[in-house]
Amino acid sequence: MTFIQTILNILLLPGLAFTLIASIWLAGVDRVLVARMQRRVGPSLLQPLYDVLKCLGKETIIPRKANEKVFLLAPVVGLASVLVTAMFLPVGGVSALKVNSDMVVILYLLTLASVTLIVGASASGSPFAGVGLSREMVAMISYELPLVLVMLTVGRVCGKGLATFSLSTVTAYQAANGPLLLNPVLWPAAIAMLFVIPCEVGQHPFDIDEAETEICEGVLAEYSGRPLAQFKMMHNVKMYVMSGLFCAMFLNISTGFILADILIYCVACTLVTFVSMSVPHAVTARFRVEQVFKFYWTVVTGCAALSLILVWIGL
Amino acid sequence: MTFNYFVSFFFIVLGLFCIITRHNLFKVVIGMSVVDYGTNLLIVSIGASNKGTAPIYAEGEILPGTWFVDPIPQALTLTSIVIGACITAMALSLVIKIYHRYGTLDTREIRRLHG
Amino acid sequence: MLFNLDKKITEAIDDAASKSLWLYHINAGSCNGCDIEIVAALTPRYDAERLGCKLTGSPRQADIVLVSGPVTLQSRDRLIRTLAQVPEPYCLVTVGSCPCSGNVFKGSYAICGPVDKYRHVDVSVAGCTPKPEAIMAGIAQAAAILKEKRRGMHE
Amino acid sequence: MENFPILAIMTLFMGAFINSLAGRRSYKARCAIVFTTMAISLILVLAMVPSVMGGGEIVCYWMGGWAPEADWAYGIGLEVDALSLFFGLIVTIAVMISGVYSFTYMKHDDSQVNFYTLFLMLAGSVLGLVLSGDLFNIFVMVEIMTFTAVALTAFRNDTEGALEGAFKYLVVGSLGSMSILVGTILIYACLHTLNLAQIAQMAIHARNPVMVIAFGFLFVGFCTKAFMFPFQPLAADAHAVAPASISMMISGVLTKCGVYGLIRLVYVLFQNIGQTHVQYLVTGMGCVTMFICVTMAFNQHNFKRLLAFHSISQVGYVVTALGLGTALGLSAGLYHAINHTLFKGLLFLVAGAVQHQTGTLDLDELGGLSKKMPRTTALFLIGAASISGIPPFNGFASKWMIYQAAFSKAVNTDNFFYLLVCGVALITSVLTLASFVKVAQSAFFGQCSVLCRDAEDCEKGMLVPMSVLAVLCVVLGLIPDQFGTLFLKPAAGAAMDPGVYISAMLRGADATVMPAIYGYVGAWNPVFFIVLLLIVTVGVTIYSVSAPLRRPEPLAEGDVEDEHVLPENAKYEPFFSGEESVHSHVGGSDLFWGFKENWKKYFSFWHDWHSGIVNDYELYGVVFLAAALIYCMLFV
């Protein structure tokens, strides 16, 4: 029974189907909210789906200077790794795949996703992609440190003495004594995590790697058709994964039965997407490369380190 | 015996000082061998004692109250001297080749590999 | 495949071709009057995003190519090269009267003739700086043409 | 079974001797001699694995039959317990692979006989150091190792800076050997014995200042051999100029001997890993080395010099894991040691292949090798992915164990220092990934530079050793638990309780070593593969319905890649915002501008610190020696 249940879990609920729908929904909501904030009508809710389907319909051009195998393989591996990451998120307490230190697995699979984006860009052989991938790497260096500090803090709080890396213990802890967001000591960590999400996903204020105006779609300069569709889908699923991670870590409300939990989880994810991705998108212009790095290694890491120290002192 | 230790540590420090401050390759190699002499003196003086005699005796001939010198450090010193000689020979051959290639012996010019 | 799933998917892909339109703007020597109008169409006041439009940076991701300006001598090769790099089903929309007739610059030594000398123009939005509404109307027509082109690609 | 260790060492030295005699006849004869020698020593070491690793037995061999009498060892003994055998395995595998690689790599060099004589002497001395149970014997083997490594570094003395790198390595390396010798002698002065087991037995009671200074000297000596913090310019210079198989030996094997010496010193000889100050010293050294070397590697221009700095920063990882003192920490360090030898060896051999084909290693001139050397690029990607800790490869498994060891140590002892260690380790891992992205973009992908136009993939003789390493990298990444129980736990157990080591050596008791016990959280379960399979099937279905794939038709015979292309058929040219596509390769030093901009002062300081002058390096070494001695006297 459990094998069929895991297969069902993987395929349906917290697995593939739910992830794809949720990511399309979150991406759509994000674009509509940004439009509404600028007092304009904005695209339909299914616009990300149309974008991906339209890209599938266009022909795929392999540039002469590109290394074809890596050029085509990178988006597939990237999308696969992001979808596997989504399997680890506990949707309403139930997660498709269970490994007892899956926070580090999530960290590394997200790194793998960014690495495939970088390797794909370098395989496309265009100078714009070269500049784009160097910016993506700088962005990765800048958000990796605060993300790790936040994970250490949450692990320390939920570990009750023996720190943990596993989301199931985090969920159990929050089921017992309320979501972590209510704990004032963890507010700096929550703020740091909210800042990390847009840079990890590559959302507008921090999308220094795909800056259309500066370096002509940077990393994706040579991509068209199917690989481009996979990268766009990867972008959307990353949006869902990061907001899901935030909800799993800070906003894990578990009432009695499953359906209410899932509903609360979806609302929470939408809220997190709005706060962390739509608001900065509508409010600020794009950061310069060294501003991103300086901002993350001073302000955001400061918040994360502050809450880590507070937790460590035993508050 | 403590005088030997002071002399040997003085030699080691002198050798190191020579390696650090002298900018001529030959002097650096000389410094290295001075350091070797210092360590060899240290090794020998550990096993030695004023009234000790050489540990060579026929069977059953040991008179009471004779004091033997410890032979093992002397064996170690032999190996250390041999190693010191090989290192100096290798260093000198390298210095000769460097002179052929760089045309100078000043360490401040021989710094192509830096940064 | 099972209960003609593939037909449904291709139908959805063809339909999506008219709903998500990524614009790529080529300035073939224009006086920037039309450029400002194109960008104005994307601003919140006229909001081209309602049609699913988004400005992209590289021709590889372009669905609708907006060309503005009479093709000057210098920009002729660059125009042809960029148009060659755009992947199939795409529409060429000329903004303003310069690309389609040369406007006041017609007959000058530096003008290499209207755009449709080099590639068939699908929609041409006339007017010396056409209003943003006109540009968006042109884009809407191009969307319909795109759907036909996408269907035409099946064979 | 008794005399396998001495046979393994002696075959290598005898092979060196025979090779210098009979090797002159022909290339074939030389390769046969060298290959059989390496094969015999590998087989002998492997023959010992089941009994020593599996059964926990300890093999003791006394030179010349001078067995210890009445608990006092006066002969020279070889002792092989699980820890020595683990490092013996690393040594023999690395020797085998770099030997086979150098058959084709050194084919066009002159005086190859000397090369292989020195190579086999290096292998013999390294194996001798790892298996020996006598402190002065370790010093002699260290000397032979340094001597042959210097000679081999300067083997191609026409390359730029080879003699200079070898000379610096010799001068500052002799500082390290001097401190090992003085340490050995001070221990002899106190305990009047040179046998490791005997010293371990008596060192706990003899807590006088001379022993503490001896510990300081030995610590600095082994740090020099492992190229720890102030000594890393040596490694950078030596690797950048040595032939590729020798750089693999230096980075894969010589640094491990320094690490082995540290483990023996801290866990078995003085058994003072328990003291927190010793843990701070060792972990602090590891962290400082890790971070400085990775930032130094960040903006290097020479491919091998970049790899050299990375190899030292990975050794910094190993030393950090050792310094934690817990069973999980030690086995994480050992696991990372063998992984490091594998993926660093692979990367150095790839660098050798690139140099073999294009003649240069400067990242600013290389570019677009992936189209000309596809297999080497694939091997490079495996090596780069495993060093930067990407999931399916072995770097990820061992780095994960190190993070877990550091984090659980931080929690158990409620000590913030180990949390910093964990943070530094993660930042170093990201910076490693960044610099290998830089190498991938500048050397392998991107547009084909002039130098790489006529490069084609290297011969089979080079590809086979590299692919063996790549397969090992992948296999070790997938089976962390089984590898742990088979090799890591016995080795860690042997190091953690020296009692069995002492009793086996002195009284010949055949007590068995209990493998270390630690809770290790598995990183892998097969469900991942089912999920990946599902995703691929979903992807394939969408492929079949969507639009066609357009490939450029291959270049006609005549025209060159960047020839003038008519605007009409520019469909497959890269997008240059309309311009004609000229050769403009983004790579080498113009990457990561944002990061370098913020840390300008830090980078320029370290750039000047590595001044390349022998005297400065010696000064850093002496200052570090003095600081270590003072630290030991105050705290240890």
Q: What is the pLDDT of residues D1-42, one digit of tens each?
A: 778 889 999 999 999 999 998 888 888 889 999 999 999 999
Handedness of CA D286, D291, D294, D299 (dihedral sign): negative
- Is the pLDDT at A214 greater than 80? The verdict is no
**pLDDT value for C142:** 93
CA gap A83, C7 in Å, rounded? 26
Q: How far apart (Å, rounded) are the C-alpha atoms in residues D48 and D86? A: 11
CB-facing half-sphere around the CA of D217: CA atoms within 13 A = 20
For residues D323 and D278, what is the distance between their CA atoms, to the nearest angstrom?
Answer: 8
pLDDT tens sequence across C111-147: 987 898 888 999 999 999 999 999 999 999 999 999 9
What is the SS3 assignment for B111? Answer: coil
Per-residue model confidence as pLDDT tens digits over C32-74: 999 999 999 988 889 888 888 988 888 999 999 999 999 999 9
What does the alpha-carbon distance between residue B11 and residue B31 come to, in Å, rounded to a whole number? 10
Tell me the percentage of chain D whose pLDDT exceeds 90. 42
Cβ neighbours, 10 Å, residue B105 = 16
A135 within 8 A of A208, measured Cβ to Cβ: yes
Q: Which two tokens stand for residue A34?
A: 């940004």
**pLDDT category of residue D341 using cuts at 50, 70 and 90:** very high
pLDDT of residue A92: 75
* H-helix segments, chain A: 2-11, 16-37, 47-57, 68-87, 102-123, 127-159, 167-177, 187-201, 212-215, 226-250, 258-273, 279-283, 289-295, 301-313
Q: For D385, how many CA atoms within 13 A lie in the half-sphere containing its CB?
A: 25
Look at residue A56 and tell me whether its pLDDT is greater than 80: yes
Alpha helices (H) in D359-497, listed in sequence order: 374-387, 394-412, 416-439, 460-478, 480-483, 489-496
Region B3-9: mean pLDDT is: 90
User: Does A97 contact chain D (CB < 8 Å)?
Assistant: yes
CA distance B111 to chain D (A): 5
Band (D542; pLDDT cuts 50, 70, 90): low
Q: Are strands C21-27 and C64-68 parallel, antiparallel or unpaired?
A: parallel
Give the number of C-alpha atoms closer than 13 A to the C-alpha of residue A69, restricted to the C-beta side. 6
Residues A125, D368: C-beta atoms closer than 8 Å:
yes
Q: Looking at chain B, list the stretches that DSSP marks H as alpha helix, in order from N- to C-terminal side.
A: 2-21, 25-47, 71-102
* Calpha distance D446→D441 (Å, rounded): 6
- Residue type (1 letter), D603: F
Separation between Cα atoms, residue D39 and residue D93, nearest integer Å: 10
**CATH code for the domain in which residue C78 is found:** 3.40.50.12280
Nearest by CB to A54, which of C20, C47, C50? C20
Structural domain span for residue C42? 2-152
How much is the pLDDT for D225? 92
ipTM, two decimals, is 0.89
Cβ proximity of A129 and A221 under 8 Å:
yes
Q: Span D175-180, mean pLDDT?
A: 93
Q: What structural domains does chain B harbor?
A: 2-50+71-102 (1.10.287.3510)
For residue C104, give how far its alpha carbon lies from the nearest alpha carbon of chain A (Å).
Answer: 31
Spell out a b/e string for D559-581, using b for 16 or more CB atoms within 10 Å of the CB, else e: eeebeebebeebbbbbbbebeeb
Q: What are phi and psi of A53, to 5 degrees?
A: -65, -40
What confidence score (pLDDT) does residue A160 get? 67
- Confidence band of A91 (pLDDT split at 50, 70, 90): confident
Number of domains forming the structure of chain C: 1
Report d(CA D397, CA D383) in Å as an integer. 14
pLDDT digits (tens, 9 = 90+) for C72-84: 999 998 999 999 8
Nearest to D391 among A112, A129, A138 (CB): A112
- Chain A residues inside the 8 Å CB shell of C56: 212, 217
The nearest alpha carbon in chain D to A292 belongs to: D594
Q: A218 contacts in C (CB within 8 Å)?
A: 57
3-state secondary structure of D546: coil
| Whether the Cβ atoms of residue D333 and residue D321 lie closer than 8 Å to each other | yes
Give yes or no for residue D528 having a pLDDT over 80: no
**Does pLDDT of D523 surpass 60?**
no
Distance CA C50, CA C44 (A): 10
- More confident of the two residues A237 and D56: A237
Q: Which residues from chain D sit within 8 angstroms of residue C26, using beta carbons? A: 578
CA–CA dist A247, A180 (Å, integer): 10
A window 236-265, beta carbon within 8 A of D:
none
Cα gap D427→A229, rounded to integer Å:
32
What pLDDT shows up at residue D540?
67
Residues of chain D positioned with their CB less than 8 A from the CB of A214? none
- Chain D nearest-CA residue for B25: D614
Mean of the per-residue pLDDT values of chain D: 86
Structure tokens at D212: 């503490």
pLDDT given at position A315: 64
At D252-298, the pLDDT tens digits run: 899 999 999 999 999 888 888 888 899 999 999 999 999 999 998 88
CA–centroid distance for D600 within its chain:
29
Place of tokens 């109250």: B65
What are the C-alpha distances in Å from D135 to residues D27, D132, D186? 39, 8, 12
**Domains of chain D, residue spans:** 4-526+603-635
Grade residue D502 by pLDDT with cuts at 50, 70 and 90. confident
| The pLDDT of residue D524 is above 60 | no
Please say whether the dihedral angle defined by the alpha carbons of residues D591, D593, D595 and D596, taken in this order, is positive or negative. positive
Environment class of residue D557 by beta-carbon count within 10 Å: exposed (0-12), middle (13-18) or buried (19+)?
A: exposed
The contact set of A with C (CB < 8 A) is 31, 35, 38-44, 47, 49-51, 53-61, 128, 211-213, 215-218, 220-225, 228
Cβ distance of B12 and D185 shorter than 8 Å: no
Sign of CA dihedral D398, D268, D327, D219: negative
Nearest to C16 by CA among A47, A45, A50: A50
- For residue A61, the chain C residues in CB contact (below 8 A) are 60, 85, 87
CB of D348 closer than 8 Å to CB of D304? yes
D534–chain C nearest CA distance, Å: 18
**Residue carrying the six token digits 């260093």:** B91
Task: Calculate mean pLDDT across residues A119-134.
Answer: 88
Other CB atoms within 10 A of residue A98 CB: 17
- Report the pLDDT value the prediction gives residue B49, as an integer from 0 to 100: 78
* Listed residue (A102, A14, A96, A92) closest to A253, CA to CA: A92
Label residues D160-169 b or e (16+ Cβ within 10 Å = b).
ebbbbbbbbb
The string of pLDDT tens digits covering residues D194-216 is 888 888 888 888 788 899 999 99
Q: Looking at mean pLDDT, say which of A122-126, A272-276, A289-293 comes out highest.
A: A272-276
d(CA D270, CA D290): 25
Dist CA C87 CA C62 (whole Å): 8
Give Dmax over CA atoms of chain D in angstroms: 94
Question: Tens digits of per-residue pLDDT, B73-102?
Answer: 888 999 999 999 999 999 999 999 999 988
| Chain D: residue whose CA lies nearest to B32 | D171
Average pLDDT, chain A: 86
CA angle A229, A116, D318 (to 5 degrees): 160
Q: Encode pLDDT of D39-76 as tens digits.
A: 999 999 999 888 888 877 888 888 888 877 777 877 88
pLDDT surpasses 70 at D536: no
d(CA B113, CA D614): 11
Q: Let me know: does C44 contact A38? Beta carbons within 8 Å.
A: yes
CB contact under 8 A, D568 and C6: no
Residue spans of the domains in chain A: they are 2-313
What average pLDDT does the segment D511-531 reach? Answer: 62
Q: What is the pLDDT of residues D305-326, one digit of tens each?
A: 999 999 999 999 999 999 998 8
Q: How many distinct helices (H) and strands (E) make up chain C? A: 5, 5
Alpha-helical runs (H) found in C1-155: 5-17, 33-42, 73-84, 97-101, 132-152
Q: Is the pLDDT of residue D522 over 80?
A: no
Region for A93 from its dihedrals, namely left if φ exceeds 0, alpha if ψ lies in -120 to 50, beta otherwise: left
Q: Do A61 and C63 touch (CB under 8 A)?
A: no
Q: How far apart are CA D243 and CA D513, in angstroms?
A: 40
Taking the CA atoms of chain D, what radius of gyration do you get in angstroms?
25
The length of chain D, given as a count of residues: 636
Amino acid at D187: I
* DSSP state string for D249-286: HIIIIIHHHHHHHHHIIIIIIS--TTSHHHHHHHHHHH
Q: What is the mean pLDDT of residues A263-284?
A: 91
Q: Across D63-120, where does the E strand assignment appear?
A: 77-80
Higher pLDDT, residue A10 or D431: D431
Q: Does D543 touch chain A (CB under 8 A)?
A: yes
pTM exceeds cut of 0.80: yes
**pLDDT for B42:** 92
Count of residues for chain A? 315
pLDDT of A102 higher than 80: no
